């Protein structure tokens, strides 16, 4: 197995989190009609960074926050690994809210499709947006495009996998050839 | 179900590991939250067909399985022996193979013969879920009972559970004993000498013939029905006498110096093993058990379905 290649270092990641938070503030102003929903399991750490950054840049804002698991809505049940669900925790109705879904890596788009289906059972949002840290372009299997992007890579050339390390004060994103 | 997180069949609780039971519970937690949201259906098993074969009467279990299957998006066919070719002399394997040739993936079966589900699992090419086989096991009932205790107390380990009544003819009792012990609970059975199997204490459980003492010991009392349909002889003088000695009443609970949680797998014979006021009181979690049954069965079917291709 070849060496992992560093895609984003700690400083770059911090800058990305700040930039994405500012973009959110620009589009959602006071967040009164907005909720952030992190996707289980790997979107939670990234969403936590965004929420922390939001509280530093705009401490007056109290944004609704939830966590969503899409296991029961996946289209590959029984086609690979055994899927064990994680808890969903959304303690509010999503009716007429603007939802920002947050995940770490966007690849085929199938998880996002399942997540949108899973989210709909909590109400009918007025809008759903998608924020991802790494957008692996050109290998999408569904017509899904993110609204907020940390960084984009061409998966045809990089191949392999993206691994995000959320170690305290030393977050990094790696490109790997194998899982 | 066999190795860690690898679920082939659910034939009984015996053989399930603590980790497998916890996986079922964690999956059921998520299904329970789904069942309490406005849209209760998922498409997870949309390309799975399940046959419910009931060779014995059932209300709760059959409806609960059918609801679980439909909420998972599966196609469902129902079969009951009273209106089938079994009456014309067809064997179990022939009946099931005929149903499977119509491209059915999973079979949920209740049968009066102990071991019928194991027999079927060995001879037909489908995943089998035991919905009760004679006096042997009723695994999903035990799972939902333990799940309800976990929901009430936070955990099952360390809890003292007494199972009261017709232990001899009860598949619920045996599955409950295996499940509760695997999860670290202490188990006692209580009933007349004639309705407690000989040597049952070798399973590592306590035995009592005195309900008052048993209730004083326990945190949870699971009251079982007298299974008159399985009794080929008289095991006690009269239902009235049984009720007096082993029936749960307000008077009996008043004499305890603590509160206990009351369970019943249904159907209830009100006035025999439990009085109406206790069955409907806030000590009873009987209806929560029924509610949890759907989530537990959804979890079992969901985990099994992932092994069916």
Task: For residue B64, give the CATH number of its domain.
Answer: 3.40.50.1370
B229-275 tens-digit pLDDT: 766 777 888 889 999 999 999 999 999 989 999 999 989 999 999 99
List the one residue out of A72, A59, A118 whose CA is nearest residue B68: A72
Does B6 reside within a domain? no
Same-domain check for residues B161 and B171: yes
Report A:100-139 residues touching B (Cβ under 8 A). 117, 120-123
Same-domain check for residues B161 and B259: yes
For chain A, residues with pLDDT lower than 50 are: none
Same-domain check for residues B281 and B218: yes
Supply the pLDDT for residue A34: 97
Same-domain check for residues B245 and B298: no
* CA–CA distance, B180 with B297 (Å, rounded to integer): 18
Q: Which residues of B touch A88 (CB under 8 A)?
A: 30, 33
Q: Do A122 and B38 touch (CB under 8 A)?
A: yes
Q: Does A147 touch chain B (CB under 8 A)?
A: no
Supply the pLDDT for residue B235: 82
Per domain, the residue ranges of chain A are 9-71+87-158
Q: How far is CA A47 from the centre of its chain?
A: 7
Supply the pLDDT for residue A154: 86
- What is the pLDDT of chain B when averaged over all its residues? 91
Same-domain check for residues B132 and B152: no
Q: Which residues of B touch A117 (CB under 8 A)?
A: 43
Quote the domain boundaries for residue B216. 139-289
Same-domain check for residues B147 and B266: yes
Quick check: B179 pLDDT over 80? yes
Mutate to test the interface with A, among B32, B306, B308, B309 (most CBs of A within 10 A): B306
Nearest-neighbour CA in chain B from A48: distance (Å): 22
Nearest to B26 among A77, A82, A84 (CB): A84
Same-domain check for residues B144 and B282: yes
Domain over A9-71+87-158 is classified CATH 3.40.50.2020: yes
The pLDDT of B53-70, averaged and rounded, is 93
The pair of structure tokens assigned to A56 is 């530093």
Q: How far is CA A170 from CA A11, A150, B159, in A?
A: 9, 17, 44
Q: Do A85 and B33 touch (CB under 8 A)?
A: no
Report A:52-91 residues touching B (Cβ under 8 A). 69, 71-74, 77-79, 82-88
Q: Which residues of A touch B8 (CB under 8 A)?
A: none
Does B45 reside within a domain? yes
Nearest-neighbour CA in chain A from B241: distance (Å): 49
A77-100 tens-digit pLDDT: 878 788 889 989 998 999 999 999
What is this structure's pTM? 0.88
Nearest-neighbour CA in chain A from B220: distance (Å): 28
* CA–CA distance, B169 with B127 (Å, rounded to integer): 27
Q: Which residues fall within 8 angstroms of residue B71, CB to CB, at 6 or more apart? A: B34, B35, B40, B41, B42, B294, B298
């Amino acid at each position: 197995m070849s060496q992992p290649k560093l895609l984003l270092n700690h400083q770059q990641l911090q800058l990305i989190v700040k930039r994405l938070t500012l973009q959110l503030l620009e589009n959602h102003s006071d967040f009164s009609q907005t909720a952030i929903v992190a996707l289980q399991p790997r979107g939670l750490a990234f969403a936590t960074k965004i929420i922390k950054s939001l509280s530093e840049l705009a401490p007056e804002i109290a944004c609704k926050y939830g966590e969503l698991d899409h296991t029961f809505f996946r289209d590959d049940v029984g086609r690979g690994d055994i899927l064990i669900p994680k808890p969903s925790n959304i303690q509010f109705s999503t009716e007429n809210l603007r939802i920002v879904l947050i995940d770490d890596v966007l690849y085929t788009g199938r998880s996002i499709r399942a997540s949108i289906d899973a989210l709909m059972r909590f109400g009918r949002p007025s809008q759903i947006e998608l924020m991802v840290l790494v957008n692996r372009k050109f290998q999408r299997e569904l017509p899904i495009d993110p609204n907020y992007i940390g960084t984009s890579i061409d998966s045809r050339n990089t191949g392999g996998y993206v691994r995000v390390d959320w170690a305290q004060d030393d977050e990094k994103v790696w490109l790997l050839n194998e899982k | 179900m066999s190795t860690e997180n690898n679920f082939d069949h659910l034939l009984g609780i015996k053989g399930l590991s603590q980790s497998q039971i916890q996986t079922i519970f964690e999956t059921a937690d998520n299904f329970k939250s789904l069942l309490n949201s406005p849209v209760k259906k998922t498409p997870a098993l949309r390309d799975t067909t399940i046959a419910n074969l009931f060779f014995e009467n059932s209300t709760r279990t059959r409806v609960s399985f059918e609801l679980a299957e439909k909420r998972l998006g599966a196609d469902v066919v129902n079969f009951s022996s009273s209106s089938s070719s079994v009456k014309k002399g067809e064997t179990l394997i022939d009946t099931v193979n005929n149903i499977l040739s119509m491209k059915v993936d999973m079979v949920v079966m209740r049968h009066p013969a102990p071991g019928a589900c194991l027999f079927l699992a060995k001879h037909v090419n489908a995943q089998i879920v035991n919905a009760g086989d004679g006096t042997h096991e009723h695994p999903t009932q035990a799972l939902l009972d333990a799940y309800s205790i976990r929901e009430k107390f936070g955990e099952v380990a360390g809890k003292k559970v007494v199972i009261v009544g017709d232990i001899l003819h009860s598949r619920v009792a045996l599955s409950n004993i295996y499940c509760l012990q695997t999860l670290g609970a202490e188990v006692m059975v209580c009933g007349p000498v004639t309705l407690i199997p000989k040597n049952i204490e070798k399973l590592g459980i306590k035995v009592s013939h005195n309900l008052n003492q048993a209730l004083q010991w326990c945190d949870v009392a699971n009251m079982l029905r007298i299974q008159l349909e399985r009794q080929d002889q008289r095991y006690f003088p009269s239902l009235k006498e049984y009720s007096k000695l082993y029936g749960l009443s307000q008077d009996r609970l008043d004499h305890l110096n603590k509160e206990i949680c009351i369970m019943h797998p249904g159907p209830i014979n009100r006035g025999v093993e439990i009085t109406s006021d206790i069955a409907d009181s806030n000590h009873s979690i009987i209806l929560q058990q029924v509610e949890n049954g759907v989530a537990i069965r959804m979890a079992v079917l969901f985990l099994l379905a992932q092994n069916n291709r």
